[in-house]
Amino acid sequence: MARVVVDVPLAHLDRPFDYAVPEKLAGTVQAGCRVRVRFSGQLVDGFVLELADSTEFTGRLMPLAHVPSGEPVLTPQVARLLRVIADRYAGTMSDVLRLAVPPRRAAAEKKPTPTPESLPGPPEPAGFARYPAGPALLDALAEGRPARAVWTALPGEDWPARLVELCRATLAGRRGALVVVPDGKDLDRLETAAARLLPEHACTVLRADDSPEKRYRRFLAASRGAAQVVLGTRAAMFAPVRDLGLVVVWDDGDDLHSDEHAPYPHARDVLVQRAYLDNCAAVVAGTSRTAEAELLVESGWAHELVADRAVLRSSAPRVQALGEDFELARDPAARSARLPSLAHEAARKALAAGAPVLVQVPRRGYVPSLACARCRAPARCAHCSGPLGISPRPGPGGTRIPACRWCARPAATFDCPHCHGTKLRASVVGESRTAEELARAFPGAAVRTSGSTSGVLATVPGGPALVVATPGAEPVAEGGYGAALLLDSWALLGRADLRAGEETLRRWMNAAALVRPASSGGLVVVAADAAHPVVQALVRWDPAWLAARELADRRELGFPPATRMASLTGSPAALAEFLEALRLPDTADLLGPVPERPRPGQEGERERYLVRVPRSEGGVLAHALAEVQGVRSAKKSPEHVRVQLDPLELV
């Protein structure tokens, strides 16, 4: 008898089903392999969770219809993790399975998987010697002990090499390691370091942009135990690493770590659960620190891995804000100027010294947002009410005509519905327009852009140049940048978002960490008021202080991660039906409803509720939500309610 989880995305069928194993398939079927079964009159895919001699089902078992492959791609450890994650996020196991196991490619299964000739010895401790607890962490990994750390990397740190050294120490202890990074640019740097520090075939890389056959082949290298180190982006969080001894997430505050598909798990939370279930080591690492990582430290689950202040001062660039009294006395217009004299002078000196200058702007495109020049109201499309903007590509005749960012209709004329003004002004300037302005301000200097509009650069030469980049797209400069200009701070700090301050500091520190130390002339200019707590954390290079402050504020106000929240989104009628059936714990708070922000192509009115419970009641809330979804699924309710636990955005 085979216990099978079927690929049926219905909440009321979220449980395994027993099937008989025909005699002709008995030699092929094994736990973890793919099967085809007949379910409700149709052939559907499934995975064998286990083989057993008996069943609690009293009727006649249906036989397995087909076994596409006897390859065990779902290990018992991963199957247990998938069940825990599905329950934690009020989802179904079939939904999580789609995120965990890539589609099968028969050609990849037929190819042999090379294995490393030998495992490496422990790494040299010099890389972690600048952190007092660094050598002890390497020793614990080599001995197979479940050490847990929240690592705040020094500015200018070669973090890919440090992460690979952690993996090498784990391999020396005959256990596997899993590292998850936000995007492909970070993964390229990590893969380069792994090729230099790990034996050949000891590591496999799981990329979302690989071909299906290549991705499946690399997945098999991990599931077969040939490669005990797995590096990847978000989807690699479920990778079947043999004898898992270490999980690492880099830059856990990046929203790319949150999956966009149901049940919307976050890589940090998944890896923390893996560390608990498999009793292995865990490292939450980054240049900055999130409130969630601070909670791990405060609770005692993890220890800090930070450098002494003297070492930090020798590594960090000098940071100067525009709101300082001396600067305001010298340049009274510094508060309102987009590129005040301090930033202009810092860029000029760095270019004169032959060093590149990084300019970070928070918006992509040319002019992504327009407003009425008279009343400053956001400019909207007369056809679909979408936001108006200006594309970086000129139209016919070299002109740039405002157009809707939703339906792409040009807006040759504009009539403000509030004041009937006919002129537009830029409310937000993107990286393309910023590059044009800098080219005029610094004639003769090379200007490069890095972002989703113009393409992301991985590295830039060390010569004099202006590099305009959006957050997350900053290329690494050879020898480091001579200066960094952090512009348009209001666009980050002024967002109506619970994580605005935390996210702003993360973006600023990731950019500032690429600048040379102050002893080498490195300078970071941030266009923000020096009295702001986020700016103070950047000036002092103290992300732990801001994270502790954020956590204390959220605990007082009842916001995550001190509590757990669920977002319920749907039509008013569907939400009313959902809430009527929902059995909330006595400690729950129901907040809402509020209108959901319209999305391109969205039709009909939609609202959102937030449900808040103490952190200890998070499991009870998830079970209650899953229960209602199961009932609605069984009744075939026509309207869908989107359920998301621990959403990144609460507004």
pLDDT at 449 over 80: yes
Model confidence band, residue 363 (pLDDT cutoffs 50, 70, 90): confident
Q: What is the pLDDT of residues 13-46, one digit of tens each?
A: 999 999 999 999 988 999 999 999 999 889 999 9
* 464-467 contacts at long range (C-beta below 8 A, 24 or more positions apart): 464/350, 464/351, 464/352, 464/353, 464/354, 464/355, 464/356, 464/357, 465/351, 465/356, 465/357, 466/347, 466/351, 466/356, 466/357, 466/359, 466/435, 466/438, 466/439, 466/442, 467/356, 467/357, 467/358, 467/359
Which residue intervals of 173-209 are DSSP H helices?
A: 184-197
Same domain for 24 and 151, yes or no, is: no
Nearest CA to 237 out of 198, 281, 185, 274 is that of 274
Task: Answer for the pair 104, 216: CB distance below 8 angstroms, yes or no.
Answer: yes
Instruction: Please indicate, yes or no, whether residues 588 and 572 belong to a single structural domain of this protein.
Output: yes
Q: For the chain, report the end-to-end CA distance as a whole number of angstroms.
A: 49
**How many other C-beta atoms lie within 10 A of the C-beta of residue 628?**
21
pLDDT band at 64 (very low <50, low <70, confident <90, very high): very high
Q: Residues 256, 184, 315, 170: what is their CA dihedral angle, to the nearest 10 degrees?
A: 90
Q: Which amino acid is at 133?
A: A
- Do residues 599 and 625 share a domain? yes
Q: Are residues 595 and 469 in the same domain?
A: no
State how many domains the chain has. 4
Question: Residue 373: inside a domain, yes or no?
Answer: no
pLDDT tops 80 at residue 61: yes
pLDDT at residue 412, rounded to an integer: 81
Q: Are residues 129 and 259 in the same domain?
A: yes
Q: Which range is most confident: 283-297, 382-396, 586-600?
A: 283-297
Rounded Cα distance between 461 and 442, Å, is 19
High-pLDDT (> 70) share of the chain, %: 95
- Is residue 381 over pLDDT 90? no
pLDDT at 410 over 90: no
Percent of the chain with pLDDT over 90: 72
CA gap 474, 452 in Å, rounded = 11
CATH code of residue 616: 3.30.70
Binned at pLDDT 50, 70 and 90, residue 600 comes out as low
Give tens-digit pLDDT for 183-230: 999 999 999 999 999 999 999 999 988 899 999 999 999 999 999 999
* 159-185: pLDDT as tens digits: 999 999 999 999 999 999 999 999 999
Distance between CA atoms of 301 and 9, rounded to whole angstroms?
A: 35
- Quick one: average pLDDT of 366-377? 82
Find tokens 């650069």 and name the residue.
Answer: 457
Last residue of a domain, one of 289, 310, 331: 310
Structure tokens at 641: 């309610």
Q: Is residue 418 part of a domain?
A: no
Rg for the chain (alpha carbons), in Å? 27
Asked if 176 and 322 sit in the same domain, the reply is no
Distance of CA 360 to the CA centre of its chain: 20
Q: How far is CA 287 from CA 318, 468, 615, in A?
A: 16, 21, 27
Q: What is the structure's pLDDT at 326?
A: 46
CA angle 177-180-182, nearest 5°? 165
Together in a domain, 296 and 189? yes
Confidence (pLDDT) at 615 = 94
Any domain includes 386: no
CATH at 85: 3.40.1440.60
**Predicted confidence band of residue 569 (pLDDT cuts 50, 70, 90):** very high
| Among candidate residues 310, 330, 350, the one where a domain is terminated | 310
Domain that holds residue 636: 563-645
434 or 574, higher pLDDT: 574
CATH number of the domain residue 526 falls in: 3.40.50
124 CB-side CA count, 13 A: 5
Q: Who contacts 322 (Cβ-Cβ below 8 Å, separation ≥6)?
A: 328, 334, 335, 340, 342, 343, 525, 526, 527, 528, 529, 530
Mean pLDDT of the chain: 91
- Same domain? For 325 and 305 the reply is no
User: Would you say residue 44 lies in a domain?
Assistant: yes
Q: 328: pLDDT confidence band, cut at 50, 70 and 90?
A: very low
Least confident of 346-350, 351-355, 426-430: 426-430
Which residues, 6+ apart, have CB-to-CB distance to 253 below 8 Å?
A: 286, 288, 290, 499, 502, 503, 506
Q: Say whether both 461 and 348 belong to one domain.
A: yes
**Residue 353 shares a structural domain with residue 221:** no
pLDDT score recorded for residue 117: 84
pLDDT of residue 393: 65
User: Beta strands 281-286 and 148-152: pairing type?
Assistant: parallel
Full-model pTM: 0.90
- Across 215-219, 389-393, 595-599, which has the greatest mean pLDDT? 215-219
Over residues 115-136, the pLDDT tens digits come to 898 888 889 999 999 999 999 9
Decide if 526 is inside a domain. yes
Q: Is residue 554 part of a domain?
A: no
Predicted pLDDT at 386: 84
What distance in Å separates the CA atoms of residue 500 and residue 507, rounded to the nearest whole number? 11
Question: Residue 186: inside a domain, yes or no?
Answer: yes
Name the band, by pLDDT with cuts 50, 70 and 90, for residue 598. low
Residue 593 amino acid letter: P
How would residue 402 be classed by pLDDT, with cut points 50, 70 and 90? confident
| pLDDT above 50 for 86 | yes
Claim to verify: residue 8 and residue 136 sit in the same structural domain? no
- What are the CB-based long-range contacts (under 8 Å, 24+) for 323-332? 323/528, 323/529, 323/530, 323/531, 323/532, 323/535, 324/530
Alpha helices (H) along 248-369: 267-278, 291-298, 309-315, 325-330, 341-352
Contact call for residues 462 and 477 (beta carbons, < 8 A): yes
Confidence of residue 540 (pLDDT cuts 50, 70, 90): very high
Backbone angles phi, psi at 590, to 5 degrees: -105, 120
Q: What mean pLDDT is predicted for residues 410-419?
A: 87
Same domain flag for 344 and 459 = yes
Residue with tokens 């507004």: 651
Mean pLDDT along residues 476-495: 90
Distance separating alpha carbons of residues 168 and 572, to the nearest angstrom? 54
Say if 120 falls within a structural domain: no
Which residues face 608 on adjacent strands? 569, 594
Element (H, E) at 593: strand 589-595
Q: Using DSSP, state whether 552 is helix, strand or coil.
A: helix
What integer is the mean pLDDT of 620-626? 96
